[in-house]
Amino acid sequence: MSSEKTDVEKNAEDTSNGVPLSFCLLLEEEIQV
């Protein structure tokens, strides 16, 4: 197995709660509507 991480794992590290940034953006858009 390679040491490279998937995009999902990278996105999880970018957020403190482990939720993908794209998912957070979708929630924000739904709240604004």
Flag whether pLDDT at 27 surpasses 70. Answer: yes
* Runs of H (alpha helix) within 1-33: 7-14, 21-32
pTM of the model: 0.31
Q: pLDDT tens, 12-21? A: 555 555 566 6
Q: Which residue has tokens 């940034």?
A: 21
